[in-house]
Every structure is written in C-alpha cells, then in structure tokens.
Structure 1
Amino acid sequence: MECAAMATAPAEVLPPAKRWKKDLDCLETSPVLPATATADWSSLPYDIVGRIADSFLATNDLDWYMDLRAVCHNWRSATDDPRDSTSDSRFHPCRWIVLDEVFKSDTRRLLVNTTTGRFLNKELPALRDYFVVATTLHGFFILADRSPPHAARVFNPLTGGIIRLTATVPPEVQVTAAVCFDFSSPLLTLYCHSCCKMYYMTSPHSSFDTLDLECALLVYSFFRRAAGAGLVGPWWDLLRTTGMALKIYEVWQSLRVDLLKFFSNDPTEMGLANDARCFPMEFRGQKLVVIKGQHFFQVLRFESGELLYVKSILNHAIFIGHHRCLAVDADMFPLIEANCIYYTEHHGSSAHIWKYNIKDRKAERISEAADFVKRDKHFVLIGNRPFTIVQLL
C-alpha cells in the first residue's frame, strides 16, 4: 500500500539560444522603476484578503490561515482571530488525523488532511508544557498540566488555541477522547479502557462527572467507539431518541456473532465464523455503521429511524483500525482505490493488509507475508515503515 516511488520524467531540453550580434551603440535598456512602484502587499484590499482566507478555511488548512494572518497588521485586521472564539467551528480541525508514532520528538507530529491528501510535519512547542493524554479523530489534542492538579486542556495544533479547563485528568493511561462543540459549552469525554469508566464534563469550570459502565460493557464499548469516531453529540441524541442501539442489536442477532466481541478492541481472528466487529462513523454528514466480519462487510446508513444498506461510498475509501474507522478521498491518495475498505486480518502470529471492494464484494490481500512482526502484543510493519494501517496513507 505504500506509494511506490514514481520514475522521474526526463527534463525537457530547451534548444540552444540563438546569439544575436548587437550594435554596442544601441544596447537595449530597461527603465529603472522608482521605489514607489514596488508591490505593497500590505495594502491588498480587505475583500481580496478575506477571499484568500476563506479558501483556506474551506479546505480546513488552518495553519495556512494562521500564516496569512501573520503577514502584516492589515491582513490580521481583514480576518477573524481564532483565539477570540474557541467554539467557532470554522477554526476547528475537522478533516485531520494525527499520526502520533511517526516521530520520536516530544514536540513534533505528522498530520494528514483526509480530504485534500495534504501532509503536515508540524513542530508544536506547546507540548513541552503538558502531558499528551490522547488525540481525537479530527485532530485535537487532550492535554494535562505537568504540575498538580493536572488540569485538562484542549489544544488545537493548527491555530495554537488552548481551551483551559479546571477538571483534573484521571490517572488512567489508555484513554479514548472526544470533544464536542454541539452544545452551549464544549463537552469533553474520556473513556478509560482499564476500568470501563466514562469521564465527562459540560462546563470549563466544572469537574469531571463519572459514569461506571463496567456492568454495562456493551454500552460502554459502543460509546467508546462513537467517541473515537468523533460522534459523541450526534450519537448520544440518536441513542436517546430513535432506538439506535436496538437497531444495531437486531443486526447483531441476524449475524449470529459473539456479542461480547462485537465492540471489542481485539482484532478479528481469521477462521472464527462468529467473530465480527461494529464501527460507527460519519461520512459526508451521514451516520454510518460498518460491520466487519470474516472477509465480508456491511455498510449501513442510519436514516429515518432505520438502518439502510449502502452500496457505494463514491470516490472515497474506508480505513479500519482496532479502535475506529475513517473515510478518505481516494482521488487525493495515490494507489488508494475508491469504494473500497482497507483493513488488517490476523491469524495467529501473522497479520496482513486486505482490501475489500464494496461493489464486487471481493476481498484481496495486498501485503506480503513478511510485512508484519509481532511486538508487545501488537502487529507492526518491519523496518522504517508506518506502524498502523492509517499511517499507510
């Protein structure tokens, strides 16, 4: 799946320039422009600056938007400051994923825009002052102060904005996090894998409320998956008002698979007929449920209280990991095929990458046998290759 190096096209050779013999008494000269004729970019009309800035916001290239504002005072005056309103959705990372493990540096991260295919190698000096608790699907960092009481922070890596909270971050290490701006105040939720507790806060000045879901493991697992997919607010409302959980339960019954594994973080094992996983996700404003079985998939769309089968995801591809799945624009990523699902399949001590064509309903292995090794109970690619299937983008 890694992009093969493209052969460099030979440079076009220009014909040698013709030499013209000139009369030295009539050499051509260029007029000397006065200093006042040089371009003054700071005087660019406000509406032009605004249109350029809006084009960056349209593709969620917020770092370019911040670079534009840094040029001069007039350009800052012509554009809105993201720090004035941390809840303004225009300035939220919404198409980015963070590839945490690419760099060993504590302050450098690699981000990728799943819509435009743009990779961003970014230095984040603010990370020196905090512990990184988790990252969200869309690119936010959940941080904790290094000094007690380790208050929570929500960090936007593209604008540098930080939402300061008073709640103390729980001590658990493995956490799935989500931040939702659908309500009057940002809703931060943390799902702790070791204790099956959900921590949530609805006000920047409140402490975390705790919901112990160990006795309701399936509910906890579903909400953790929804949080990983960035769907806390919308899915919470769906579960309350439309019986979404019942619809998914009916799908599980029809598949006759192991209910305890349906939302499990453990990868599916080849050869187990009753082994399947359920992934909620959002795709182009629609709420989907992706069911992954033994080389078969069901892509369902929630509409009008029902789950409907999806036959095509157009020019997009879906990538499925252990905890969540996401969609990318296949037109922007070389060698990624549209209307396909990419995933890993495990069998004992080996693992391989597969591609499933939604239209043809055919699965194809696309990785070599020696691509994977097992380290610390996780399958990783050997050598200097990416560590996760998402990083194979």
Structure 2
Amino acid sequence: MPLTIPDIPPAKRKKKDPTCLEISPVFPATATAGWSSLPDDLVRRIADSFLATNDVDCYMDLRAVCPSWRAATDDPKTNTSDPRFCPRTWIVLDEVSQSDDMRILLNTDTGRFLRKKIPLLLDYYVVATSSGFFVLADRSPPHAARVFNPLTGYTLRFTVPMAPDVRVAFVGSWGRGKASSPLCLVLLGDLSCKLYTTVPDSEAVVSYDCQQEVYNFFQKAIVGGAYPHIAGLGFAPAFAELLDLLRSLHADFVKGTLFVFKMNTELGKVEPLQSISNFAIFIGHRRCLPVDATKFPGIEANCVYYTKHLGLSAHICKYNIKDKKVERISEAREFVKQDKQFVLVAHRPFTIIQLLCSYTINTPDSQLALQQMSEGVEASRSNSGDSDLDD
C-alpha cells in the first residue's frame, strides 16, 4: 500500500524579539565599497606579511588589485636586487615539471608549493636555476645571459654571453647592506679554474684565479648550494679554513663522512655544530639545501638526508646528528640511473623526502649546451659525409 503523508498544520509565525540581533545579508564582493580606500599603512602591513615569508607571488597579486594598493607598496622593478623581492627561499622541482613551460616551485621556509606556467621559458634556452632564479640565454648568438625572477616576472639583461665551458655558480648580491652591489651573476670556468662576476647591462667581467684544489671545493660547495650567497670577500678565508679543517679530520668526500659546520664569512671563521635545531639538511652529489622540518610532515629535525649510490641505482639514508645513527629510508631503491640522470622509481605519489633528494641528486643539463653539442655532432657528420664524397 502506498504510504500516506499525514496532514501537518501550518507553522505559526513567531513574533520577533526586539532584543535579538539580526544577521545582515551577505553582499557580493563587487558591492562592498571601501577596499580601494584602505589606509596606506594597513595595505603595507598586509604586503609586508607576504614578504616576511618570501611569498613574493602573493605580494604581486596584492599590488595588482587596484592603483591605490599599487601606489602604497614598493615596486620590485625599481630595485631588482632588494632581497625582499628575490626568490631566496624557493627552489624549482624539476622532477615534477610536466612541460617545457610548466614548473613546480617550493618555498623551503614555509613548505608551500606553487605550480606556475611560464611561457617565457620557451623564448630562451634554460641554462640553470639558482636561488629561485632562472638563468637563461638568448637563442641567437652570442647567447647573452638573462636572469628571470619567476615570482615578479621581471627579467634582467646581461651582456656577457653564456659559454659552453662556464657553469652558473649563483645569482645574488655581492656584499651586504649599503655596500652591496646590484644583482650579479657569478660563473665558474671549468677550463680556466676562475670565478667570474658580472652585473646587468655591463660588459665588464671581474675574474678571480683559484688553485685547482680550491676551485674544485668552490665548485662543489657554491654550485651545489652549500653556500649559495657570497656576502663580502670574507668567504675566501672561510672556505680555506674549512678545507684545512676537513683535511685534519680526514673527511672522505667519496665515502660521505658527515660533518656540520657554521660559516661566518665576515670573520672568516668556521665552527662545528652539534645540533641544527628544527632544521634538516638534504645533501646530494649535485646540490644541497636546508629546510625547516616543522613545515614538512614526515621530515625529521636535526637530521641529514643524503643519497647513497650503488652502481646504477641509489637509495636515501638519514643521519641523526644527535645520535650519530644512520638508517635507510626504504628497503627498495628509490632511484635508477638513466643516461646522466637518476630517475625516481619509487611508488607515486612521491614523498617530500623523495622529491627533495631528487632535487639534490640531479641538475638539469643546460639547454644551450645540449643545443651546441647537437650542432657539433651534426657538423661532424656533415664533414664526414663530405669527406666520403671526395674520396
């Protein structure tokens, strides 16, 4: 039998209590007046909160809201070397890049991921990424260098060409405070064992000679990210002292002996550390970086994560600085070598530990160097063909 719906008497309307507060209706954002007339100091306070965490992309979004907010805040274009606008805490995770113009950026201080489409990358050769910057090269000779800030969208033009035997050390300011220079590009010449520095729109290149052993140490430390920013000329004696200290400790770079030091480049002193507090350090054969472990679930503080190679594969180990104990993260291998790169073969989705270790174990090849190598091979084949025809 079908169910019958009982008759329900109509509800009686209750009289309003004059003492009760009524909730105002919600108006759409377009109907809310006054946002553009917020006091300048309040707008700047909100903007500074983004800069405090180096979330420069959010700062740029705030400036794009309206002309009054833009006028109340500093324009990154007027001072490209201002550390507030530099992507100093960001890295580019190449392992999860999905296309030529798509990149995944990670703020190592806050743990925030940013998936960003960058069409500009298609107009240049991508040479390297350093300190959150992209180092690019013109597609036409002499392949002048460009430094691109993916968070502000601004590009700095350099006159110096990108030579195939020169690698990018880092992008940053030389010195500190009022004595600091504009944003400069620091390069390392593998054939000459020299360190080169140049600034935007300048044909001048300053070179520094290095001994082979010191140069090799610079190459591993600076290019690898152990010390990505040169702050004054005190870095030279500090590196020399660190090198002497490692010799005295019989540190074996091949076997991966672990020591943690604090470097004071202003005084040229190096001090050993027994703890790195809530930080964790990721070390690979190509790069290294520190992260705040409290911002990344699954990462243990006061530990060093590193990759250990076993022929054509590699796995991840964790070294506890306090207990001096080493343990393997997983029984299965995490990386397999294909050509020159170690590819993650762990089960997806990748953990943050696997992604950061992949960042340290690999460095993408320069697109310019690959193009020049390909052109050289084609020229060699062409010359070989001409010789055969002559014979």
1:312 aligns with 2:306: no
Q: Name the amino acid aligned to 1:169.
A: M
Match of 2:54 in 1: 60
Q: 1:159 to 1:21 in 2, by over 3 A?
A: farther
1:368 aligns with 2:331: yes
- Paired with 1:208 and 1:306, the residues of 2 have a C-alpha distance of 29
Q: CA deviation at 1:30?
A: 8.4
Q: 1:143 to 1:378 in 2, by over 3 A?
A: closer
> Alpha carbon RMSD of aligned pairs, Å?
3.3
Q: CA deviation at 1:86?
A: 1.1
Q: Of the candidates 309, 315, 320, which is equivalent to residue 346 of structure 1?
A: 309
Aligned pairs for 1:38-53 (under 5 A) are: 38-53=32-47
Q: CA deviation at 1:176?
A: 4.0
Q: Name the amino acid aligned to 2:156.
A: I
Q: CA deviation at 1:336?
A: 0.2
1:115 aligns with 2:78: no
- Paired with 2:9 and 2:136, the residues of 1 have a C-alpha distance of 68
SS in 1 for 2:110: coil
- Paired with 2:195 and 2:201, the residues of 1 have a C-alpha distance of 17
- Paired with 1:32 and 1:232, the residues of 2 have a C-alpha distance of 53
Q: For residues 118-137 of structure 1, what are the alpha-carbon distances to aligned partners after superposition, in whole Å with 9 as ceiling and x for unaligned? A: 1111111222221111111x
1:141 aligns with 2:134: yes
1:298 aligns with 2:259: yes
Percent of pairs with identical residues: 50
Match of 1:389 in 2: 357
Unaligned runs of 5+ in 2: 1-7, 361-391
Q: 1:319 to 1:94 in 2, by over 3 A?
A: same
Worse-superposed segment, 162-171 or 56-65: 162-171
Q: For residues 141-173 of structure 1, what are the alpha-carbon distances to aligned partners after superposition, in whole Å with 9 as ceiling and x for unaligned? A: 111122233211111110111111222121348
Aligned pairs for 1:164-203 (under 5 A) are: 164-172=157-165, 175-182=168-175, 183-192=180-189, 196=193, 198-202=195-199
Q: For residues 239-275 of structure 1, what are the alpha-carbon distances to aligned partners after superposition, in whole Å with 9 as ceiling and x for unaligned? A: 1xxx3344223323323356xxx4xxxxx3xxxxxx4
TM-score normalised per structure 1 = 0.75
Q: Of the candidates 58, 74, 80, which is equivalent to residue 80 of structure 1?
A: 74
Q: Name the amino acid aligned to 1:220.
A: Y
Q: CA deviation at 1:237?
A: 2.4
- Paired with 1:235 and 1:391, the residues of 2 have a C-alpha distance of 28
Worse-superposed segment, 62-71 or 247-256: 247-256
Q: Name the amino acid aligned to 1:226.
A: I
- Paired with 1:143 and 1:173, the residues of 2 have a C-alpha distance of 13
Worse-superposed segment, 364-373 or 56-65: 364-373
- Paired with 2:78 and 2:64, the residues of 1 have a C-alpha distance of 16
- Paired with 1:105 and 1:320, the residues of 2 have a C-alpha distance of 27
Q: Name the amino acid aligned to 1:156.
A: N
SS in 2 for 1:353: strand
SS in 1 for 2:50: helix
- Is this contact kept in 2: 1:106–1:128, CA < 8 A? yes
- Paired with 1:357 and 1:57, the residues of 2 have a C-alpha distance of 33
Q: 1:152 to 1:252 in 2, by over 3 A?
A: same
Larger Rg: 2
Aligned pairs for 1:245-260 (under 5 A) are: 245-256=239-250
- Is this contact kept in 1: 2:281–2:289, CA < 8 A? yes
Worse-superposed segment, 173-182 or 24-33: 24-33
Q: CA deviation at 1:355?
A: 0.5
Q: Name the amino acid aligned to 2:263.
A: F
- Is this contact kept in 1: 2:145–2:160, CA < 8 A? yes
Match of 1:220 in 2: 215
Q: Name the amino acid aligned to 1:179.
A: G
Q: Name the amino acid aligned to 1:171.
A: P
Q: Name the amino acid aligned to 2:97.
A: F
Q: 1:232 to 1:221 in 2, by over 3 A?
A: farther
- How many residues align? The count is 335
